[in-house]
């Protein structure tokens, strides 16, 4: 079945992706700028979203900019930096109520695009540099963000696991940058960063909503001016399996976080990617999966126990929250589940149910505007053509043997535990 109709138009310096649907009462515009993850640029790029929201030449403060958005019936503008696989992304998201639900306001889209273009092309600068005062204030904001991650124990444990596991790989570079790299950044350097992003990044523009007949291509073209680009490409070395490492860290907490990192050697676009997805569904992706059932339900060992795949870099993570003294037992039971998967200890019926749940999940994602965009954008990240509809077909055709074979490719790389002081015995 066809999940969505994506029309891709090659423009000068960017690709325009149009997805028309009557599911929503809103119109969504995403500008996605993509560059290779690189320690020398990541902190500057991570700082940009904050600084860009502090005002433009026509709306000279953050508040003025927000007031302008408010008067467009509460248009939402979000700018953030993130990573997908080995790429660093700056995503500009504009969300508007569809004018047809608002009497007498047919110009919302036009006005919204104009404002978005203003933020990107006409930021508040003097003599080709951002104000150092603004930059310094936003450095603080970014720094706070880095600190906040440390307080959220689950995300901290995940970050630390990746730090240790992928030390020598681009993927370990933090999407939010590094404290020690903030010092050298000033208004001039940051403006240069913006210029090179506008010039060199790969740009994809997505528009989703009830957009037929709105002449989006022309409207976008009026505001987006770009020369043809030749985006930077970096070849990443293949990672070889190595001896498993165990890492233990202590903090004043009650519940320990036991996280495990595996290498799958399968990425989005690979022929066995769907098999890996189904594997993950059986193993730890759902409340009916082995991890949840055995670690949490059968042995009451954890409040959460789940797994997730990192689609573009061939990784699989297991997350669990456990009582510190249960470390050895929880680890043993988690690893038993992996062994069971390798031995093919699941039924055809469970396999079919898991497929149906994954298909359900993909279809539900397509009921969400941002979900539609992210699912389609996977193809850009992986530089391959694999529409959401094609993903569904792949899932459907996964066999029992495909999954056992993917399971046997799995290699445990790192066990990381964040535990209470003096907790988890001497397990690590």
Partner 1 sequence: MEHKYYKQLDETIYTKKLENGLTVCVLPRKEMAKTFGIFTTKYGSIDQHFVPINQQEAVKVPDGVAHFLEHKLFEKEDRDVFHDFSKQGASANAFTSFTKTAYLFSATSNIDENIKTLLDFVQEPYFSDESVEKEKGIIAQEINMYDDQPDWRAFFGTIKNMFEKHPVHIDIAGTVDSINKITKEDLYTCYESFYHPSNMVLFIAGNIEPENILELVQNNQKGKTFEPPQPIERFYPEEPKAVANKKTILNMPVSIPKAFVGIKEADIPKNGEEFIKREWLLDLALDFLFSKSGVIYEEMYEKNLIDQSFSYESYLEENFGFTIISSNTKNPLEFTEVLNNHLVNLDKLSIDENTFKRIKQKKIGQFIRSLNSLELIANQYSHYQMMDLDFFESLATLESLTFDEYKQFIRSWVSEEQLTQLIVEKEA
Q: Is 390 in the site for partner 1 (CB under 8 A)?
A: no
Calpha distance 191→11 (Å, rounded): 25
178 touches partner 1 (CB under 8 A): no
- Cβ-contact 118, 55 below 8 angstroms: no
Kindly state whether residue 76 participates in binding partner 1, applying the rule CB under 8 A: yes
**Min. distance of Cβ 13 from partner 1 in angstroms?**
31
- State which residue, 302 or 407, has the beta carbon closest to partner 1: 302
- On whether the CB atoms of residues 266 and 280 are closer than 8 A, the answer is no
Segment holding 339, helix H or strand E: helix 327-342
Q: Taking Cα atoms as reference points, which of 33, 30, 36 lies closest to residue 6?
A: 30
Residue 251 binds partner 1 (CB under 8 A): yes
Element (H, E) at 129: none
CB of 276 closer than 8 Å to CB of 265: no
Work out the end-to-end distance of the chain between its first and last CA atoms, rounded to an integer number of angstroms.
Answer: 49
| Contact call for residue 212 and partner 1 (CB under 8 A) | no
> Judged by CB under 8 A, which of 7, 102, 128, 246 binds partner 1?
102
Alpha helices in 7-107 (DSSP H): 39-52, 62-71
Rounded to 10°, the helix 348-365/273-280 angle is 100
Write each residue from 135 to 174 as x if it is in contact with partner 1 (CB under 8 A), else as -, in one continuous string: --x--xx--xx-xx-xxxx---------------------
| CB closer to partner 1, 195 vs 360 | 360
Token digits of residue 184? 């050298």
- Residue choice 8, 9, 62, 117 for contact with partner 1 (CB under 8 A): 62
Binding mask 318-337 for partner 1 (x = CB under 8 A): ---x-x--------------
Beta strand 411-420 with 256-263 is: antiparallel
Residue 322's beta-bridge partner residues? 256, 302
Piece of the chain touching partner 1 by CB under 8 A; list 69-77, 121-129, 229-237, 376-384: 69-77
For residues 186 and 132, the answer to whether their CB atoms sit within 8 Å is: yes
**Does the protein bind partner 1 through residue 393 (CB under 8 A)?**
no
Torsion of Cα atoms, 172 then 175 then 176 then 179, to 10°:
30
Least distance in Å: CB of 56 to partner 1? 15
The C-alpha atoms of residue 404 and residue 390 are separated, in whole angstroms, by: 22
Residue 113, CB-side half-sphere exposure with 13 Å CA sphere? 21
The residue among 316, 319, 214 whose CA lies nearest residue 275 is 316
Residues 268-297 that bind partner 1 (CB under 8 A): 286-288, 293, 296-297
Distance CA 158, CA 310 (A): 12
Nearer to partner 1, 249 or 270 (CB): 249
Candidate list 2, 218, 243, 252; residue touching partner 1; CB under 8 A: 252
Binding flag, residue 131, partner 1 (CB under 8 A): no
Neighbour tally for 173: CB within 10 Å = 22
215, 232, 363, 408: which one binds partner 1 (CB under 8 A): 363
132 binds partner 1 (CB under 8 A): no
* Token reading at 326: 């249960």
Q: Does 305 bind partner 1 (CB under 8 A)?
A: no
The yes or no reply on residue 361 touching partner 1 (CB under 8 A) is yes
357 binds partner 1 (CB under 8 A): yes
Say which DSSP state 59 is in: S
- What is the nearest approach in angstroms of partner 1 to the Cβ of residue 322? 8
- 73 near partner 1, rule: CB under 8 A: yes
Pairing mode, if any, of strands 245-251 and 411-420? parallel
Give the range of 65-73, 193-201, 259-267, 269-277 binding partner 1 by CB under 8 A: 65-73
> By CB under 8 A, is residue 21 in contact with partner 1?
yes
Binding of residue 25 to partner 1 (CB under 8 A): yes
Residue from 6, 95, 310, 413 in contact with partner 1 (CB under 8 A): 95
Task: Considering only the stretches 33-41, 222-230, 249-257, 409-417, report the one whose residues sit in contact with partner 1 under the rule CB under 8 A.
Answer: 249-257
Closest to 294 (Cα-Cα) out of 346, 254, 352, 248: 346
Q: For residues 203 and 395, which CB has a smaller minimum distance to partner 1 in the complex?
A: 395
Chain positions contacting partner 1, by CB under 8 A? 3, 21-26, 61-63, 66-67, 69-76, 95-98, 101-102, 137, 140-141, 144-145, 147-148, 150-153, 251-255, 286-288, 293, 296-297, 300, 302-304, 321, 323, 353, 356-357, 359-361, 363-364, 366-369
């Amino acid at each position: 079945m066809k999940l969505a109709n994506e029309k891709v138009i090659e423009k000068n310096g960017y690709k325009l992706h149009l997805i028309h649907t009557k599911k929503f009462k809103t119109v969504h515009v995403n500008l996605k700028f993509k560059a290779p993850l690189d320690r020398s640029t990541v902190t500057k790029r991570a700082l940009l979203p904050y600084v860009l929201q502090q005002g433009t030449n026509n709306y000279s403060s953050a508040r003025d900019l927000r007031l302008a958005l408010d008067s467009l019936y509460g248009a939402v503008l979000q700018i953030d930096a993130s990573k997908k696989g080995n790429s660093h992304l700056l995503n500009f998201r504009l969300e508007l109520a569809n004018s047809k639900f608002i009497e007498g306001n047919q110009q919302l889209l036009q006005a919204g695009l104009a404002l978005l273009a203003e933020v990107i092309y006409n930021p508040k600068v003097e003599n080709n540099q951002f104000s150092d005062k603004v930059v310094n204030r936003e450095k603080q904001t970014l720094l706070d963000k880095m600190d906040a991650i440390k307080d959220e124990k689950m995300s901290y444990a995940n970050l630390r696991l990746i730090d240790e596991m992928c030390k020598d790989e681009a993927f370990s570079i933090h999407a939010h940058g590094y404290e020690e790299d903030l010092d050298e950044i000033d208004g001039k350097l940051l403006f240069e960063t913006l210029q090179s992003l506008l010039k060199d990044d790969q740009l994809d523009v997505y528009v989703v909503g009830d957009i037929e007949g709105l002449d989006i291509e022309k409207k976008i073209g009026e505001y987006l001016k770009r020369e043809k680009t030749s985006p930077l490409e970096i070849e990443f070395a293949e990672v070889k399996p190595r001896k498993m490492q165990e890492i233990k860290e202590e903090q004043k907490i009650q519940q320990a976080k036991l996280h495990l990192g595996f290498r799958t050697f399968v990425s989005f676009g690979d022929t066995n990617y769907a098999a890996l997805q189904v594997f993950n569904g059986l193993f730890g992706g759902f409340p009916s999966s082995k991890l949840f059932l055995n670690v949490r339900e059968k042995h009451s060992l954890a409040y959460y126990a789940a797994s997730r795949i990192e689609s573009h870099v061939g990784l699989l993570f297991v997350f669990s929250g456990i009582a510190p003294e249960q470390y050895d037992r929880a680890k043993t039971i988690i690893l038993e589940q992996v062994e069971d998967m390798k031995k093919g200890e699941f039924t055809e019926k469970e396999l079919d149910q898991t497929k149906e749940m994954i298909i359900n999940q993909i279809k539900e994602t397509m009921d969400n505007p941002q979900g539609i965009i992210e699912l389609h954008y996977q193809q850009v990240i992986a530089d391959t053509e694999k529409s959401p509809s094609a993903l569904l077909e792949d899932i459907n055709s996964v066999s029992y043997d495909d999954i056992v074979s993917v399971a046997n490719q799995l290699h445990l790389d790192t066990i990381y535990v964040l535990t209470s002081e003096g907790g988890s015995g001497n397990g690590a």
